[in-house]
Amino acid sequence: MRELELKYGCNPNQKPARIFSETGDLPIEVLNGRPGYINLLDALNGWQLVSELKAATNLPAAASFKHTSPAGAAVGLPLDEVLKKIYFVEKNLSAVATAYVRARGADRMSSYGDFAILSDECDEDTAEYIKREVSDGIIAPSYTDKALEILKSKRKGSYLVLKINPDYVPPAIERKQLFGVTFEQQRNDIKISEDCLQDIPTKNKIITANATRDLLIALITLKYTQSNSVCYAKGGQAVGIGAGQQSRVHCTRLAGNKADFWFLRQSPQVLNLPFKADVKRPDRDNAIDVYIGNESEDLLNDWQKVFTERPKKFTDEEKISWLKNLRGVSLASDAFFPFGDNIERAHKSGVEFIAQAGGSVRDDNVIETCDKYNIAMAMTHIRLFYH
């Protein structure tokens, strides 16, 4: 198949809409549902991300995409009991399922209505987890019979299921049109590997094996995240992604706040919230987000809707105390840090390892700030802007 008609473009009024290949068959096959324009942008961006993650880590990888940027990305490492609880997992899962659970769990609010991306075959574990979540579609290289049956039953049979040809290699030159003008450039096929982390100008030059893995995850995630962008990673997954900001420090703050929320969800105050048994997962996610945030009184004043009893307020002092336990976080940036304020903010979220392009006229200030906190920082000399 060389052409596929879509429901509509970015918006329902943008018809007709289609995708087509000028050089051969399309690399995707629709197994169920009917795709839209944004669905396919998410699917194809996400597939590139997870393919590179798997190649870099030798682990199954997954991503949760929304509006052409990842809400989360991860590899298939086991979950501890706390992560199982905050990700709503009741049993041990396959590696590919765990990768998706981690990817979706990084920022469950943003992943609501996501597009699921898998580097490996979708199995029953993964399909069962996706079936109970609010998701718009999935792309994977293959599906077990049982997994496909489960996914086809989702959303009254309309859930979008795409199969990608894992051997497909796109042309070296890519093009797109804007306002009737065609843009052309070399596809960004630069490889992200441990070789990118060899130039370490800071006093602390020790980047652990786990940190190396997490920095690669963060860098590859940024390669497919709308710029400017910054990514925090820990334990084999992104834990905070700041995308599409005009100021880099705003990216760092946004991603850092998401990383903080991810860790605050693991605090006793949140784990022990007295939810009513019939409260659905999205409503729990919303309630937790408000409870952790600065407008918790809105929730606590109307607590009867979701709780069996009124929880105690999660005070700022308690949050700060808990966040002091967040350590060993890795951070990557899609371009250089122009000021040391980015490092100051990163330190507040437990960052101990950094990868960034380097090349700012203020590199000395950034290095000095890293040394202030004993942070090991690698300069990759690779810019990863994506638009």
Which residues are catalytic, by number? 66-67, 228, 387
Q: For residues 382 and 220, give the distance between their C-alpha atoms in angstroms, rounded to a whole number.
A: 12
**CA distance from start to end of the chain:** 28
Within 13 Å, how many C-alpha atoms sit on residue 68's CB side? Answer: 10
**What single-letter amino acid sits at 63?**
A
Q: For residues 344 and 253, give the distance between their C-alpha atoms in angstroms, rounded to a whole number.
A: 10
Q: For residues 102 and 78, give the distance between their C-alpha atoms in angstroms, rounded to a whole number.
A: 10
Query: 216 and 235 in contact (C-beta within 8 Å)?
Result: no
Q: How far is CA 248 from CA 231, 340, 343, in A?
A: 11, 11, 11
Dihedrals φ, ψ of 172, to 5°?
A: -70, -30
β-sheet bridge partners, residue 184: 175
Q: Is the peptide bond before 374 cis (omega within 30 degrees of 0)?
A: no
Q: For residues 249 and 41, give the distance between their C-alpha atoms in angstroms, rounded to a whole number.
A: 27
Quick one: which of 131, 58, 47, 138 has its CA closest to 95? 58
What are the DSSP E strand ranges found in 260-326? none
Within 13 Å, how many C-alpha atoms sit on residue 165's CB side? Answer: 11
State the Rg of the chain over Cα.
21
Quick one: which of 123, 117, 93, 74 has its CA closest to 262? 74
Query: 236 and 56 in contact (C-beta within 8 Å)?
Result: no
Which DSSP category does 227 fall into? S
Q: How far is CA 225 from CA 179, 214, 244, in A?
A: 23, 16, 8
Q: Is 88 exposed, middle or buried (0-12, 13-18, 19+ CB in 10 A)?
A: middle
